[in-house]
Chains A and B, each alone.
Chain A
Amino acid sequence: MNVSLRRAAYALLGAFLVLAVSVTYVQAINAPEYRDDPRNPRVVAWRTGRERGPIVTSDRVVVAESRPSPNDPTLFQRAYPFDGLYAHTVGYTSVLFGSRGLERTHASELTSNRDSTISGVLNGILGGDTRPRGLRLTIDHRLQQVATDALGQQRGAVIALDPKTGAVLALVSYPSFDPNSLIGLDAAQAGADLENDPDQPLRNRVSDETYAPGSVFKIVTTAAGLDTGLVSPSSEFPDPVELELPGSSSTIKNFDGEVCRAGTQVSLEYAFVHSCNTTFAQLGMKLGGEELARHANQFGFNKLVPFDLETLVSFFPDDGSLNDNLPATAQSAIGQLDVQTTPLLVALSGAAVANGGEMMVPYLVYDIFTSDGTVESSTVPMVWRRAMSPATASVLSGLMEQAVVSGTGKKAAVPGVRIAGKTGTAQVTGKAPHAWFVGFGPVEPEPDEQSIVVAVVVESGGDFGESATGGSVAAPIAQKVLATFFE
């Protein structure tokens, strides 16, 4: 009798031992995994319930602020007054979906230092300012609005920045989303809908998406030709209807399937202004895959752009695969085949031309201010890399100005301002082409004159579909932003 009682006792006490071991496993060994799971609302709830600093544009329009929560007066609720207008820059903080955008990358400044950590408590005791800081963006509210309206309901992206400093003046990605919807009562459903949307509204198409650049890549190819001293704008190239690629049966044609100029010889300048593929394919083959890749890398391809938002690396084949492969080199030289770039890097390449060949680090936060409005720190513009020599930049600038004056970029012209630009119409298999434009102004600005560079991509031709070109679809969008800037 007592034998079976003892056995039963040992069995049940053994079960408690198993429970003790498993609770130790859950709370000691596996604890960090559970604690930091993005679906664990604790950390985010604590973060979102506290006051966060405001985010304002460069012209001090409030685009994110903490308001007292309607449910609990001791807590705050984040509000985004312009709904989707700044969604991809500012992002959100949500109990259910964590955080994104500047709300994520600048979380430490935007939240109060007053917490239960040792340093937080010490800071509070020693009388340090523990209230959350605010962010002032480089984005201009009016430009942001104009760029958004200009893109309209076409999938794509617009980015404007100051070529001298790298300050981003407008950042638009369509489709967008309303960050307020991820906070309210129906947040779970709204978030699921956004994540499942085939158009990917959550994705920031400016920096977190890559496209074939098409002819906007000719900026890089031209810079490579000029930098190496291989060519000058007056260099003459044969002008065939169709360029046969050595060692293969494929050919490269110009956009309209015609010769570039008269069918005999064409200058590099004329070819650039009219964006002739045949000429740049020849230039690419002349340079060779290795040289082309070296210059693409100087322009920031295969490098991660230092940026406050999620950013993809733009791709140009630099693994030697273009060596001794002239057809691929020719295709790559006109921004086709495997070449992929973010609109951000296209804007930066235009900016480098405008800025004497130097590419600045793009930035979104102008300064960080304390709760009483004093500026605590300002972003100091920094050079990211040198893309080309000053002389090359100056020559390219002239070529790009000609493209707007008399070439493919006419629709980007702004009366009274010297605008330079380059169009692109990137062929995509099975889909309508992507329409590109990158342009800047004024050309050769006075030392204290404000300048701007704008890059636009419209996916799959936008409203124009198959018949879209960079000049017809993307250039007019850039024109509206440029015109507003120079008003």
Chain B
Amino acid sequence: MTRTAETGLIIAAAILAAVGVGIVEFTKDNWLNAQVVVTFGVFVIAFGGIQIAVRRWASGASSLLLPTVAFLTAIGFIEIYRLDGHLAAIQRWSMLIAAAAGVGLLWLLRNTGVGVLRRYRYVLLAVGVLFLMLPLLPDGWPLHGAVVNGSRLWVRIDVPGLDRVLSFQPGEIGKVLVTIFLASYLAERSEAMATIDRKIGPFKLPEPRHLFPVLVAAGIAFVILIYQRDLGASLLLFGLFIGMLYIATGRSFYLVTGALAAVAGGAAAYSTFSHVQRRIDAWLDPFGHFSDAGYQSVQALFAMGSGSLTGSGIGLGRPDLIPAAETDFIFAAIAEEMGLAGSLAVIAAFALLVAAGFGIAIRSRDLFRKYLAGGLTIVLALQAIIILGGVLRVMPVTGITLPFMSYGGSSLLANTAIIALLLRISDEERA
């Protein structure tokens, strides 16, 4: 795909978002207003800005990523705007900030390439883990953790003299930093980890010390699960660790032990934590837990079922009845108002993004870039799968944002950074 076609698709996404906003206004009996123009402008500036940066500093980059991301962002934005105009205004600022960060990242790496990140891997790991743990800071400190919807994954900064509280989810950035570290660590160790084998009967087993990374993965995931009560992030990190170990070593041993550890951990969590138990019970029988744990799931099913094939139409459904419709359950809101047609388009776009990401990884000649591209793609894919699977009852509901679509600045920033890194890596393969 040429750059011109890419530009055309980005503008198409901007028009899509603007038309969506116009339709929402129209269903409220308002005629076209400034919101339509502002939305179009913000999309052009954000995605156009990243594309200009790509043309300047990464001209060989894949042209599949940006239009797909712009499409997903536009669909998500329309639904956020429809649910809450105030949140949508904040989301537009987040888009601009995230785009600026993406441009900044492309600029930073313009001469050195992503390879430079290897040098700082322990710093990145330290910062990444710190970010993941930040929400555990006690209340009362100027920078402190906060519990939202039962999960402690927020950090708030009380700025003296300012009424507003700045809050963000550091875990979103943390997971990107941890991915960079893992890619770098595995690029050095993978050969050793993949070749040394012991044989016990027909089974090939690696050195016991190679089990260590799996244990670390399980450990961190479990700490997050216990202290932050965040099933989604814990599952995502665990999946990422195991997925990257598998990619780097080609050993299904890691998948098997990983799956066993996940099942064991899940069973332990089920019997130990009441909130995990409630989630699982609500997953198995949401209608039986209609008035408590299953409520959100059932409301999502009602919404999606009511939307049926073509949807209620933007602004004409009742997605406001779904708890957390702007964030974790945005997909159910989209499915209600845009129907099966809209929800399949969203799933297809995510699949395209994931396929493009793996394509970049497969084409990479350098191990670090290969693992990094693979890892970042796994992060994107797992996030989408975990929350979509939860909304669609393929798996229990675990609170996690849908990349590019959910309301939330931290998530948008982190996922835009992932796209910027993927763009950069794809460029380096052409050069």
Contacts and interface: CB of A to CB of B under 8 A. Distances in A.
A34 B304 contact: yes
Interface stretch (B81-89, B205-213, B216-224, B389-397): B389-397
Nearest to A41: B321
Nearest to A23: B343
A18 B71 CA distance: 22
B391 to A, nearest CB: 9
Of the listed residues A7, A15, A24, A27, the one surrounded by the most CB atoms of chain B closer than 10 A to its CB is: A27
Nearest to B247: A4
A380 interface: no
Contacts of B318: 41-42, 45-46
A8 B358 CA distance: 9
Interface residues of A, number: 37
A40 B306 contact: yes
B421 interface: no
A40 B295 CA distance: 11
A19 B392 contact: yes
Contacts of A27: 304-305, 307-309, 335, 339-340, 343
Contacts of B344: 20, 23-24
A24 B301 CA distance: 12
Of the listed residues A16, A22, A33, the one surrounded by the most CB atoms of chain B closer than 10 A to its CB is: A16
Contacts of B321: 41-42, 45
Nearest to B394: A22
Majority-rule SS of A interface residues: helix
Interface in B352-374: 354-355, 358, 361-362, 367, 370, 374
A39 B302 CA distance: 9
Nearest to B310: A27
Contact of A28 (B306, B308, B316): B308
A13 interface: yes
B317 A5 contact: no
Contacts of B348: 20
A229 interface: no
Interface in B384-425: 384-385, 388-389, 392-394
A37 interface: yes
B24 to A, nearest CB: 16
A377 interface: no
A8 B243 contact: yes
Interface string A114-141: 0010000000000000000000000000
Nearest to B194: A1
A33 B304 CA distance: 11
B388 A12 contact: no
Interface string A193-235: 0000000000000000000000000000000000000000000
B350 interface: yes
B305 A32 contact: yes
Contacts of B392: 19, 22-23, 26
A23 B267 CA distance: 28
A9 B358 contact: yes
B335 A3 contact: no
A8 B378 contact: yes
B339 A4 contact: no
B347 interface: yes
B250 interface: yes
A35 interface: yes
A383 interface: no
B301 A19 contact: no
B26 interface: no
A116 B310 CA distance: 14
A19 B290 contact: no
A375 interface: no
B381 interface: yes
A337 to B, nearest CB: 41
A391 interface: no
Interface in B298-357: 298, 301-302, 304-309, 316-318, 321, 335, 339-340, 343-344, 347-348, 350-351, 354-355
Contact of A9 (B347, B355, B382): B355
Interface string A66-88: 00000000000000000000000
A13 B354 contact: yes
B394 A13 contact: no
A251 interface: no
B351 A5 contact: no
A32 B308 CA distance: 8
Contacts of A39: 290, 298, 302
B316 to A, nearest CB: 8
A91 B347 CA distance: 45
B48 to A, nearest CB: 29
B246 interface: yes
A28 B306 CA distance: 10
Contacts of B374: 5, 8
Interface string B248-261: 11100000000000
18 contacts: A1-B247, A9-B354, A9-B358, A12-B381, A12-B382, A15-B389, A16-B384, A20-B348, A22-B392, A24-B340, A24-B344, A27-B305, A27-B309, A28-B308, A30-B301, A34-B302, A40-B306, A116-B316
Query: Ordered nearest first, which 8 A-B pairs have the shortest CB separation?
Result: A34-B305, A9-B358, A40-B302, A27-B340, A16-B351, A4-B250, A31-B305, A12-B381
